[in-house]
Structures are given as structure tokens and as C-alpha cells.
Amino acid sequence: MSSLNLDDFTDLIERPDGGVRRDAEARRERQIVPPGSFGRLDDLGEWLAAAQGAVPVRPVDRPRVVLFAGDHGVARLGVSARPAGSAAELVREVLEGGRPVSVLARRLGVPVRVVDMALDCDPRALPAEVVRHRVRRGSGRIDVEDALTAEEAEAAFRAGVAVADEEADSGTDLVVLGDVSVGGTTVAAVLVAALCGTDASVVTGRGGLAIDDLVWMRKCAAVRDALRRARPVLGDQLRLLAAVGGADVAAMTGFLLQCAVRKTPVILDGVVAAACALVAQRIAFRAPDWWLAGHDSGEPGQAKALDRMALEPLLDHGVAVGEGAGGLLALPLVQAAAALAAELPEQPEQPEQPEHKGTAGPPEHTERADRPEPAEPAE
């Protein structure tokens, strides 16, 4: 019998410190630029202060990109522009510095960590630190079978928790969370549709490589068929992840929850991260208070999930490449908000003004004892 009790996360996760946030708001009101002048940056600075429990807010100087990787069996239906089982090639390109997230991370000086959960390749083809959490080779085809066994789902979830602890223990002060997968957006669409009670066509997008209409219709059909398998297990989030998720998705869900437990802020990248966040919200309703939506990828499933969690994307540039790139683009905005909140001077205190005595006027008529009496007229 499993010892994992998801209900524990509800008790373990606290909201960011509301008292500290009020102190940050009060400090913002005293700064030389009027409150509201920086728009959402004001809110970001105050949110960071509450998350850190510190006023003034500390700089975000140890961020990290964490990417969970896996291949999904549903990709064999031809629902992706990439061939099934090819996510390992993307991982190698990330590690070699050739993917968009690698370029941006170099420019921003942010380390990138890749965690293989279910790549369809020989584990010896990748570095040991990448594959040490792997649960299985590929995930099942969710339209006709479970993605994972119950034991594999729990192992993947626990691996995500362990990775979150490793990051918190190493001093990471903010995480950009993304995925490297093939078939992942199809899985994400199923989870969002199931949890939001919508049809397949409402949440099914065209992925990072803009699939054509025929592929999109195959993708919708796969999401529809998987939805039939998801609905009976909606009340049990770990069974849901086993039925229609995947090892990378289960790990990301555990990672998000444990980051909230450890009070580590997270920037969500695309639709897969948003879908995992939606599952995590079902487990612990306070968890989304620790997350930011980095950008709008254009995927309808992402928009639906973020709306359900009341998270508004920081950027809207139409970046659909995935792999953490869009979320990483939002990082400088968060760092700028922290710098302005901490370093902008406060207004000097105004000296006390003397009481207002009014303008000088003619003296009032007063009786005076020494004033001479007028002489009486002579008779």
C-alpha cells in the first residue's frame, strides 16, 4: 500500500506572507515614483517580497531552469510534427547549447537542468545526472491504455518532489519550469479538458511547430478518446496522472507542490506546465499563490488552465517553442521588479510646517486702562 498522502500538501503549503506584502505596499507608497507607475511590476515586487518574507525584497540572483523530459506513446498516432520517441534528440540539443532555451540561458547567465523521466532511448546515451530519476522508457498510449502503472506514477511524483528539494537545498531562489517532450501538448490538453469539463476541440492547440489541419483532427480524436478514460478517475489525482498523464507530467506536478511547500517561486512556461499546475491546484488549493505564468504560448489549453487558476501571463509575444524558452523570457521582468522594489529611494521626509496664523491685519479694538479719555467739550 502506498504511503503517499496527497492531502498532506494542503496542510503543508502556506500562502505567501500577507503581513510582509502589506509592508512592501507601504514601502512602495513612500518611494519617489508614485505607486502604479510601473504597472504590474509593482505587484510583482510585492508578490516577491511576500514569497521571500522580506522587505525590502531580495534580488533574484540564483534562478534556474528545470526541464522535465519524456516521450509519450500517444505521439505514435501522428499528433505531433515531431516523430514519436524523438524527445531525446531535443534533450541532447539542449545540453549541447543549441536550443532556444540554451541560447537565452547563456545570455541571462541561468543554469539549465534537464531531468529525464521517460525518454524513449537507452539511458546510457545521456549523462548520468540527467537520467538518474528515470521511471520508465516512454509512457503508454493514453487513448487506449494507462500512461503509467500506479507504482510508476507514485515514483515519478516522488521524483519531482525530490528534485524540488534538491533545488531549494542548493539555494535556488526561483525556478523557470518547462518540459522537453513529444506528445506532451496532447497529454496536457486531456488533463485541462478533464479538469475544466470542456470538449477536446476547445483545448487542443497546434503545438510548437504549428501542425496542419489533418494532424490537428487526429490530435482532437486522441484527446477525445483519452478523455473517456480520464473522467472516471477525476477524483483521484494520482490515478488521473497514471491514466492519462506521463512520468514527466507526474514529476512536474510533484515538483510544483513541493516548491510551494519549500516557498520557492516558480515561473510556468507553456501548456504542459500549466496543465500540471492545474492538477496540483486540485491537490492543494493554496499552491498557485507561489507560481507566475511566464507567457501566453497561444495554446488554448494553457489559456483555459491559467484562467481557472486566476494566473495572468506576464508576456504575450506568441512564443510557442516550449522547452522553457517563453518562461525564461519573463525572468528579467521579475528581476527588474525586485530591483525597483528594493533599490528605488524613498521620498525624503518633509519638515514639519509651523501652524498657520493667518495674514496680519489691523489690530482689533481693545479697551486699555492707560488710554486717555477724550476731553469734554467746553460749555
Locate the domains of the chain by residue range.
61-332
Helices in the chain by DSSP H: which ranges? 8-12, 18-30, 40-52, 87-96, 100-108, 128-131, 150-169, 184-196, 200-203, 213-230, 237-244, 247-261, 271-283, 300-309, 325-343
**Do 158 and 253 touch, CB atoms closer than 8 A?**
no
- Please write the tens of the pLDDT for every residue from 228-260: 999 999 999 999 999 999 999 999 999 999 999
pLDDT at 348: 82
**166 belongs to the catalytic site:** no
pLDDT at 363: 47
Distances (CA, A) of 245 to 5, 172, 238, 241, 309: 19, 27, 9, 4, 19
**Do 170 and 264 touch, CB atoms closer than 8 A?**
no
User: Residue 204: which H helix or E strand, with range?
Assistant: none
Helix (H, G, I), strand (E, B) or coil at 352: coil
- Strand order from edge to edge, sheet including 266-268: 112-118, 63-71, 174-182, 266-268, 291-293
Average pLDDT over residues 304-330: 94
**Do 284 and 254 touch, CB atoms closer than 8 A?**
no
Q: Residue 127 — very low, low, confident or very high, per pLDDT cuts 50/70/90?
A: very high
Measured distance CA(87)–CA(72) in Å, rounded:
9
pLDDT at 206: 84
Place of cell 517563453: 326
Cα-Cα-Cα-Cα torsion 309, 314, 317, 322, nearest 10 degrees, comes to: -60
Average pLDDT over residues 6-35: 94
pLDDT at 356: 57
pLDDT at 366: 46
Average pLDDT over residues 89-104: 96
Is the confidence at residue 81, as pLDDT, over 50? yes
pLDDT at 210: 72
Average pLDDT over residues 303-328: 94
Highest mean predicted confidence (pLDDT) among 30-44, 55-69, 341-355, 359-373? 55-69
| Residue tagged active-site, from 312, 323, 343, 373 | 323
- Which range (86-90, 246-250, 272-276, 354-358) has the least confidence? 354-358
pLDDT at 378: 47
- CATH among 3.40.50.920, 3.30.420.40, 3.40.50.300, 3.40.50.10210 for 61-332: 3.40.50.10210
Q: Residue 353 — very low, low, confident or very high, per pLDDT cuts 50/70/90?
A: low
Is the confidence at residue 123, as pLDDT, over 50? yes
**Nearest-CA neighbor of 95 among 63, 123, 126, 68?**
126
Q: Residue 367 — very low, low, confident or very high, per pLDDT cuts 50/70/90?
A: very low
- Please write the tens of the pLDDT for every residue from 198-218: 999 999 988 766 788 899 999
Measured distance CA(145)–CA(108) in Å, rounded:
42
Residue type, 22: R
Average pLDDT over residues 172-191: 97
Average pLDDT over residues 68-88: 94
Q: Residue 368 — very low, low, confident or very high, per pLDDT cuts 50/70/90?
A: very low
